[in-house]
Amino acid sequence: MPCKNSPLYGGFRADFAPVEGTRLASCASVRPFSLLLFTAACSAQGVPPVDQPSRGAATALSPAEALDRDPRPDVVAVTLTAEAVDRELEPGRTVHLAGYSGSVPGPLIRAKPGVLLQVHLENHLTEPTTLHFHGVRVPNAMDGVPDMTQPAVLPGQSFDYSFVLPDAGLYWYHPHYDSVAELGSGLYGPILVEDPNDEPELGDEVVLVLSDLGVDEHGDPLPPASTPDDIVSGSEGGIVLVNGLVHPRLEVGVGRRLRLRIVNAARSRYFKLGMAGHSFVVIGGDGGRFSAPLTVTEPVVTPGERLDLLVTPSGAAGSSVELVARAVSRGMPLPASAEAPLVGLELVANERSASPPLPSLERALAPLATAGAAEVPIALTLNADDTSVVMGIDGVPGDEAEPVHALVGSTEVLVVSNMTPYNHPFHLHGFFFEPRADDGSPLAVIERKDTIDVPPVSRVKLAVTYDDRPGMWMFHCHILDHAEAGMMGMLHVMR
Ligand SMILES: [Cu+2]
């Protein structure tokens, strides 16, 4: 078990607090268990649940699933229509959002590794849009960056994306056009690539898409931040959403273990998860399963990141436990996000048998070979005064920065230095990286990631191998106001 001060998570380490002396065996010897059912505080979202069976019993809170139009087992073909969506958040309070095929979040795309995913995007918005498949190792032409990998999809037009899903894990899709506004209006959805090597009965699985929403008195999304202060702070909405719902409820059978598959789709908000009296077993993240599990009391998921968590809510039938988001400062003088309730877990008695003890959860995941690998410095910078703000890479906004060049087949270590007093979630398109210790050595637990928190005035080292997908790839802060203000750059991978 890594110690609290290990650099295991690079930027995460201050927030990941492994329980002293806790080992998985003790976490596994939990109590008796039973069924998990689900109820939501708000109405369902207009997309009928579709045909594909789900693992475990805990599917009702998960987003509705996209209809696979292709009968072949190795092809998943879905249509996503980007369009206006009105939602009644609570009785008498309707908000005017955008979503996919009538749904916020967009429908869950479920597939297995090696499947060919075909997504037909219809743009019924009044603005151009694209789809970026966050974390998926797509060919460059499928990366969804307007004017770089494809033209923007204009209103009334469509675009066909097609690529193989190479890796198990939880991913997500969202526009890469005017991302602050479009994600802020509700355009995001999950992609779950099931791992065929998952142990049986890990837990009753629920996909939780976390986000937030800011609306005006008419229920219309607030415009993106425009003042230097607001841009530096990053747009957070005051309404916290879990699968598009405000504080939904989930019925959990006494003694049943939950497997929470979490994606943070918010523009700026960090979610530090907590459940009083409980800790979580973290078994995976952005790019699928870890080499070994971690026990963590308050795991943090920053914008763009994913977490794969196991937890067994404890208590008697009739009691409840709250999954909450703890206050997070992101380097601000006051907490940027106050504590907010996420999901009310209500324990119910039922006939379902207890979840079995956890298996070892270890995975053979070798560290990348980095002997002789070049270190590539990338500095996240900020120049601001009362009237202007330039967030950038190496002191200049992204559109003025020289691309970083790399060769197909090479392995490098990106050294991402945060020169600012604020946290930034650094995201690399197209490739996984492996967080390293500050001396460059592999961490105790190996992980494949595409997004990582870089705390104020610190640096992270990220080993990456460029497989044979040449092209111009982006990297940027996933606080989208920061990306818009210039904290983005380009990586040119060449044969
Ligand atoms: Cu940032």
Q: Which CATH topology does 374-494 take? A: Immunoglobulin-like (2.60.40)
pLDDT in tens, 394-421: 989 988 989 999 999 999 999 999 999 9
CA of 15 to the centre of ligand 1 (A): 18
Taking a C-beta distance cutoff of 8 angstroms, is the pair 266, 479 a contact? no
Beta bridge partners of 36: 252
Residue 486: partners with Cβ closer than 8 Å, 6 or more residues away: 390, 391, 392, 393, 396, 397, 398, 399
CA of 424 to the centre of ligand 1 (A): 4
CA of 455 to the centre of ligand 1 (A): 10
CA of 375 to the centre of ligand 1 (A): 22
CA of 236 to the centre of ligand 1 (A): 13
Q: What is the mean pLDDT of the chain?
A: 87
CA of 276 to the centre of ligand 1 (A): 30
- Per-residue pLDDT, averaged over 472-491, amounts to 96
CA of 6 to the centre of ligand 1 (A): 24
Residue 27: the pLDDT is 24
CA of 238 to the centre of ligand 1 (A): 19
CA of 380 to the centre of ligand 1 (A): 8
Q: How many angstroms separate the CA atoms of 391 and 401, rounded? A: 12
Residue 334: the pLDDT is 61
CA of 488 to the centre of ligand 1 (A): 9
CA of 12 to the centre of ligand 1 (A): 15
- Per-residue pLDDT, averaged over 353-372, amounts to 94
Q: What CATH number is given for 42-193 in this structure? A: 2.60.40.420
Q: Which CATH topology does 10-34+203-348 take? A: Immunoglobulin-like (2.60.40)
pTM of the full structure = 0.88
CA of 458 to the centre of ligand 1 (A): 13
Residue 149: the pLDDT is 97
Q: Which of 118, 263, 121, 114 is nearest to 194 (CA)?
A: 114
CA of 231 to the centre of ligand 1 (A): 10
Q: Is the pLDDT of residue 9 over 70?
A: no
pLDDT in tens, 375-397: 999 999 998 887 888 899 998 99
CA of 401 to the centre of ligand 1 (A): 17
Residue 106: the pLDDT is 98
Q: How many angstroms separate the CA atoms of 69 and 82, rounded? A: 18
pLDDT in tens, 311-349: 999 999 999 999 999 999 898 876 667 789 999 999 999
Residue 229: the pLDDT is 87
| Among 48-62, 368-382, 469-483, the least confident range | 48-62
| Among 154-168, 319-333, 432-446, the least confident range | 319-333
CA of 271 to the centre of ligand 1 (A): 15
CA of 391 to the centre of ligand 1 (A): 8
Residue 335: the pLDDT is 60
pLDDT in tens, 102-115: 999 999 999 999 99
Residue 463: the pLDDT is 98
Q: Is the pLDDT of residue 175 over 80?
A: yes
CA of 244 to the centre of ligand 1 (A): 24
CA of 479 to the centre of ligand 1 (A): 5
Q: Which residue has 């999809």 as its token pair?
A: 153
CA of 423 to the centre of ligand 1 (A): 6
Q: Is the pLDDT of residue 84 over 60?
A: yes
CA of 72 to the centre of ligand 1 (A): 42
Residue 48: the pLDDT is 33
CA of 233 to the centre of ligand 1 (A): 9
CA of 420 to the centre of ligand 1 (A): 9
CA of 292 to the centre of ligand 1 (A): 29
How many helices (DSSP H) and strands (DSSP E) are in the chain? 4, 30
| DSSP line for 462-482 | EEEE--S--EEEEEEESSHHH
CA of 478 to the centre of ligand 1 (A): 6
Domains 42-193 and 374-494 agree in fold = yes
| DSSP line for 316-380 | -TT-EEEEEEEPB-TT-SS-SB--EEEEEEEEE--SSPPPPPP-------PPP--TTPEEEEEEE
CA of 305 to the centre of ligand 1 (A): 14
Joined together, the tokens standing for residue 451 give: 């997004």
Q: How many angstroms separate the CA atoms of 252 and 394, rounded? A: 49
- Per-residue pLDDT, averaged over 243-252, amounts to 94
Q: Is the pLDDT of residue 59 over 80?
A: no
CA of 459 to the centre of ligand 1 (A): 14
In which band, very low, low, confident or very high, does the pLDDT at 53 lie, cut at 50, 70 and 90? Answer: very low
CA of 418 to the centre of ligand 1 (A): 9
Q: What are φ and ψ of residue 398, in 5° steps?
A: -55, -35
Q: Which of 166, 453, 408 is nearest to 301 (CA)?
A: 453
Q: How many angstroms separate the CA atoms of 186 and 15, rounded? A: 28
Taking the domains of the chain in order of start, what are their residue ranges? 10-34+203-348, 42-193, 374-494
- With pLDDT > 70 as the criterion, what percentage of the chain qualifies? 87
CA of 224 to the centre of ligand 1 (A): 15
- With pLDDT > 90 as the criterion, what percentage of the chain qualifies? 78
CA of 392 to the centre of ligand 1 (A): 9
